[in-house]
Structure 1
């Protein structure tokens, strides 16, 4: 499949032939496999990072990644975005306010971020924990709202239903209504795409929470703080560093969530 054909028309999978062994029998079947391509983010002419992800919602990703990485302070800092697909992947030429270049220099990378992680490739341990503004409000968590979102989440995971290979991130209203869904092969990219969409649509992030299908690792909390949400809910496990950061940043953190079950690690 040509990469140029999937940037605009939302194709996210390819059908491939596979030999399947089941109950003592080999058979030929057709399987749907998630499309993954390298996406190079180039700020003001300088290559910053290469991320492996699906070629969908790239504009959302650019805004979300730029915000959660602290490269920009608001969407207005980005002056233009141009997608340039080629046979090797997708190059994204991003023109930002000159003041942002200093921040980009402070987040240098020496390698590709293979899963869309905001930390991979940094050349100094001091760059891992960066300064962020604390969450300045107390989000009121409602167990029924989390349950409702969990119940509705599976039906909205189109990529995962088709391929079984995608993580999802959701923005959920305080009533439990899923307002936005973004999926990707990497959990970090799915979250960045969601955060980019939240800001592009000018949704007040204080009016809801983020739910993800992944674990709650440090950088997922860091991104949620950058999005200015008061609660991050994950379906899998947390890490010690994620819990520590959540406490420092005053964001509520729930993990191992299922319908009728919540482990609240911070808040």
Structure 2
């Protein structure tokens, strides 16, 4: 059996082989300092580090993060990156301790104010959901499902995909046991490829909570699509930042922000 990256084969007591999603502690390290430890699928880790750095404000562009290496230890993996001079100074000034399990994107922050950080990367009005209709948002979700190789094998992971308005299809996808991790990996992959997130839509497989909205806005995305209902706070923050939200409502997919 050929398994996708991030899956391992487990033998059940009755002798059957069952693919399982891998989950391991991943330390995200900048300039030798651990900024976060996440329980994550050990795949696409360079994308993960870049995406996390962007969505958490450690860097403002992928070019600010230089050499990246993944170092495997007996109990987990360190993903190490080196910041350029200006980003390194900013990082040291605002460094805070974080640790986030897959179910919560806020664990470890040290004040209530940081939970609702100002989203100062709000998009100009002309980019808010431009070119994306309700029908296209539905197509994006439909197209994402068959592309999830890790989920198909394990039934245990989330995915984040990018629908390109130019190509009219999903052009990138990342999977992980954590929905926040999947989105960070996708954002990192887009940044490293020089793809502007405002040129399409982020498509998720999970519920839409405020932390995913924050990450999408920090990445410069204009639209996010999710298959389940958003939280009230997620909608309020998205509206304030100019992020278009398509998500589940009574009767099917709906647009939540104007």
Query: What displacement does 1:28 show?
Result: 4.2
Q: What is residue 255 of structure 1 aligned with on the other side?
A: 247
1:76 matches 2:63 = yes
State how far apart, in whole Å, the 2-side matches of 1:107 and 1:212 are.
29
1:43 matches 2:37 = no
Q: What is residue 165 of structure 1 aligned with on the other side?
A: 156
Query: What displacement does 1:146 show?
Result: 2.0
1:232 matches 2:232 = no
**Structure-to-structure mapping, 1:1-267, within 5 angstroms:** 11-19=5-13, 27-101=14-88, 102-103=90-91, 105-109=93-97, 112-115=99-102, 118-131=105-118, 132-136=120-124, 137-140=127-130, 141-174=132-165, 176-256=168-248, 261-267=252-258
Query: What displacement does 1:97 show?
Result: 2.4
TM-score, normalised by the number of residues in structure 2: 0.89
Query: What displacement does 1:118 show?
Result: 4.5
Unpaired runs of at least 5, structure 1: 1-8, 20-26
TM-score, normalised by the number of residues in structure 1: 0.87
Question: Of the two, which has the highest radius of gyration?
Answer: 1
Unpaired runs of at least 5, structure 2: none
Aligned residues: 250
Change (3 A) 1:159 1:149: same
Look up the SS of the partner of 1:47 in the other structure.
strand
Greater mean deviation of Cα atoms: 115-124 or 134-143: 115-124
State how far apart, in whole Å, the 2-side matches of 1:89 and 1:48 are.
15
Change (3 A) 1:36 1:196: same
Query: What displacement does 1:68 show?
Result: 0.3
Look up the SS of the partner of 1:122 in the other structure.
coil
What's the CA shift string for 1:11-40, capped at 9, x where partnerless?
311111225xxxxxxx54221100111111
Greater mean deviation of Cα atoms: 65-74 or 76-85: 76-85
